A and B are shown apart, each in its own frame.
Chain A
Amino acid sequence: MYFGLSEEQKSLEENIQRFLSDNASLDIIKAVANGDEDKAKEVHKGIIELGLSGLIVPEEYGGLELNMLFATVVSAALGSGTAPVPFAGSYIMSPMAINLAGNAEQKNNWLPKIAGGEVQVGVGISEYVGAREDAGIEFTNGKVSGRSLFVIDGKGADAYILANKSGELYLIDSNNSGIEVVELTTVDKTRTSIELILNDVDAEFLEGSKDKAIIEKVLDAGRLMLAADTVGAAQVMLDKSVAYSLERKQFGRLIGSFQAVKHMCAEMAADLEPCHSMIWHAAHCQDNVPEEARLMACQTKAHISEVGKQVSKTATEVHGGMGFTDELGLHYWFKRIGLNRQLLGSPELVREEAGKLQGFDQ
Chain B
Amino acid sequence: MDLEYGPQYDNFRAEVINFVKENENTKLTGPARSESRVAWQQKLIDHGYFARSIPKEYGGYGGDMDIIKLRIIAEEFAKSPIPKPAGGQGIQMLVPTLLSLGTEEQKQKYIKPTLRGEILWCQGYSEPNSGSDLASLQTKAELDGDEWVINGQKIWTSTAHLSQMCFILVRTEPDAPKHQGISYLLMPMDAEGIDRRPIKQMTGDSDFNELFLTDVRIPAENIVGKRGEGWKVANATLGHERGSLADPNVTQNRLNSLIDLMKSETIDGQRVIDKPIFRDRLLSIQGRLMAQQSNALRILSSQINEDQDANLSKSIVKLQGTELRHELEGLAIDAMGELGTLYEDSPHLRDEGAWQMTYMYFLGLIIGGGTNQIQKNIISERALGMPKEPKIQGA
Contact = CB atoms under 8 A, between A and B. Distances in A.
Interface of A: 1-6, 69, 242, 245-246, 253-254, 256-259, 261-263, 265-267, 269-271, 273-278, 280-281, 284, 288-289, 296, 299-300, 302-303, 306-307, 347-348, 351-352, 354-355, 360-361
B290 A1 contact: no
Contact of B298 (A3, A307, A361): A3
B31 to A, nearest CB: 39
Interface stretch (B77-85, B185-193, B276-284): B276-284
Contacts of A262: 376-377, 380-381, 384, 386
Nearest to A238: B384
Interface in B269-289: 273-274, 276, 279-280, 282-284, 286-288
B316 A273 contact: yes
Contacts of A276: 298
Contact of B376 (A263, A277, A288, A303): A263
Interface stretch (B3-11, B101-109, B174-182, B208-216): B3-11
Contacts of A242: 384-386
9 contacts: A2-B1, A2-B301, A2-B305, A245-B386, A258-B389, A266-B380, A267-B376, A269-B312, A303-B290
A352 B281 CA distance: 11
Interface string B377-395: 1011101111111100000
A296 B280 CA distance: 16
Does more than half of chain A's interface fall in helix, strand or loop, or is it mixed? helix
Given A267-B376, A348-B280, A1 B389 contact: no
Given A1-B5, A262-B376, A303-B291, A274 B300 contact: no
Contact of B304 (A1, A254, A306): A1
A299 B388 contact: no
Given A269-B380, A299-B287, A360-B273, 15 more contacts: A1-B301, A6-B1, A257-B387, A259-B377, A266-B319, A273-B295, A273-B312, A280-B294, A281-B293, A281-B294, A303-B290, A347-B284, A348-B280, A351-B280, A352-B279
Contacts of B387: 246, 254, 256-257
A355 B3 contact: no
B366 to A, nearest CB: 13
Given A277-B294, A355-B283, A1 B300 contact: yes
Contact of A1 (B2, B376, B380): B2
B36 interface: no
Interface in B131-166: none
Contacts of B390: 253, 257
A1 B312 CA distance: 20
B319 A4 contact: no
B384 A3 contact: no
Given A257-B389, A262-B381, A274 B280 contact: no
A299 B388 CA distance: 36
B297 interface: yes
Interface in B94-112: none
A351 B282 CA distance: 10
Given A257-B390, A265-B380, A303-B291, A274 B279 contact: no
Contacts of B293: 281
Interface residues of B, number: 53
A1 B68 contact: yes
A253 to B, nearest CB: 7
A314 B379 CA distance: 16
Nearest to A67: B1
Contacts of A275: 291
A274 B294 contact: yes
B292 interface: yes
A4 B298 contact: yes
B237 interface: no
Contact of B297 (A3, A258, A265, A300): A3
B313 interface: yes
Contacts of B312: 269, 273
Nearest to A277: B294
Nearest to A263: B376
Given A262-B381, A306-B284, A3 B290 contact: no
A2 B306 CA distance: 11
A262 B387 CA distance: 9
A269 B375 CA distance: 12
B320 A274 contact: yes
B373 interface: yes
Contacts of B385: 242, 246
Given A1-B300, A277-B295, A299-B286, A266 B376 contact: yes
Most buried by A among B279, B313, B385, B386: B386
A103 to B, nearest CB: 33
Given A266-B379, A267-B376, A355 B279 contact: yes
B313 A299 contact: no
A300 B1 contact: no
Contacts of B389: 257-259
A288 B6 CA distance: 15
A69 to B, nearest CB: 6
Contact of B301 (A3, A289, A361): A3
A274 B313 contact: yes
Contacts of A354: 283, 286-287
A242 to B, nearest CB: 5
A303 B288 contact: yes
Contacts of B294: 274, 277-278, 280-281
B383 A269 contact: yes
B206 interface: no
Contact of B379 (A6, A269, A288, A303): A269
Nearest to A261: B386
Contacts of B6: 1
A144 to B, nearest CB: 34
B201 interface: no
Given A257-B386, A259-B377, A303-B291, A273 B5 contact: no
A4 B294 CA distance: 10
Nearest to A242: B384
A355 B279 CA distance: 8
Given A69-B1, A284-B1, A296 B386 contact: no
Contacts of A277: 291, 294-295, 297-298, 313
Nearest to A279: B294
Nearest to B319: A270
Contacts of A352: 276, 279-280
A246 B386 contact: yes
Given A281-B297, A299-B290, A270 B283 contact: no
